[in-house]
A and B are shown apart, each in its own frame.
Chain A
């Protein structure tokens, strides 16, 4: 048996990576650190200058990058589940989302924008986009998915939101108002989805497990819980 042989391929099948030239099916794959393109060089140059000129320290940059990287949609799901079980928290969340999230222990200081929660109801469905770039509620959801940054999503969601929602499997009746939110400036939106039917008996932690990233962007809703 082959120790450490965990990549799925049929023996004799060609690999695309540069490490496999010469036909050896077990040669190591090529390194992927060979993308020193224009923007990467620009970022490195600017970062080094900021450090050299004492505008920012290397440690501040590290701390900020780590803070961004530590965030995942589980953070948003915790906030949503709390809002479902605690009416006072929900009222604060809709009024001052930053304060509400800080009360749950989220560090909101690294984000110089105003977090705003938009609530789905039986008559209103909210969905977020950033047509100008890729503004996203990173403090609660982490990095945006590739489709959120695509030109197709950014241009089509404002123009034909119901068609885009249908492609995500979300079909809404005509008496539900679809409210698109374009984060063009200093607001970041996150959707508070509706608590699904059949979830009455679940604990806060169990509820958080139901809350998907896409439901907090607003491209999906949360399906009823099977009895």
Chain B
């Protein structure tokens, strides 16, 4: 499953799924909406590499920017605060 190619500025949502294994997508952004800040490049999938597999095909990694107020509804700070998380394409859905 993949969101297809994403461009900076695209609105995305992080899949809200709970899968076992060596997962790099933190729980605190699952189901949250953010914006593609940049495309980072293709890397071998760490969720596969962790188990001695090839990690191929490579997956596109994006830097996704979230408003803190979106991630933490009770965030104590101004609306301009953000958090950037590096997320692989197969964890993102375009909205």
Interface, chain A (partner B; CB < 8 A): 114, 131-132, 158-163, 174-187
Would you call A177 and B85 a contact (CB within 8 A)?
Answer: no
Chain B neighbourhood of A177, CB < 8 A: 78, 80-82
Q: Is B21 an interface residue, CB under 8 A from the partner?
A: no
List 8 tightest A-B contacts by C-beta distance, closest first: A177-B80, A185-B86, A174-B78, A180-B83, A178-B81, A186-B43, A182-B85, A181-B84
Contact call B81/A159, Cβ cutoff below 8 A: no
Do B80 and A185 touch across chains, with their CB atoms under 8 A apart? no
Residue pair A182, B83 in contact (C-beta under 8 Å)? yes
Residues of A within 8 Å of B85, CB to CB, are: 182, 184
Considering the chains assembled together, what is the distance between the CA atoms of A187 and B76 in angstroms? 28
- Please, which residues of chain B bring their CB within 8 A of the CB of A181? 83-84
CA distance A114 to B44 in the complex (A): 13
A-B contact count (CB 8 A): 74
Majority SS of interface residues in chain A? Answer: mixed
Contact B26 A159 (CB under 8 A): no
In the assembled complex, the CB of B69 is this many whole angstroms from the nearest CB of chain A, namely 12
**B40, A178: Cβ atoms closer than 8 Å:** no
Q: Interface code B78-95, partner A: CB below 8 Å = 1, 0 otherwise?
A: 101111111110000000
B52-83 interface bits toward A, Cβ cutoff 8 Å, 1 = contact, 0 = none: 00000000010100001001100011101111
Known: A114-B40, A162-B76, A178-B77. A186 touches B84 (CB 8 A): no
Asked if B84 and A162 make an inter-chain contact with CB atoms under 8 angstroms apart, the answer reads no
A182 CB contacts on chain B under 8 angstroms: 26, 83-86
Q: Does B41 lie at the interface of the complex (its beta carbon under 8 Å from any beta carbon of A)?
A: yes
Which B residues are in CB contact (< 8 Å) with A183? 86
What would 14 more interface pairs be, CB under 8 Å, given A160-B77, A182-B86, A185-B87? A131-B28, A132-B24, A158-B28, A159-B28, A161-B81, A162-B81, A177-B80, A178-B81, A180-B83, A182-B83, A184-B26, A185-B88, A186-B43, A187-B63
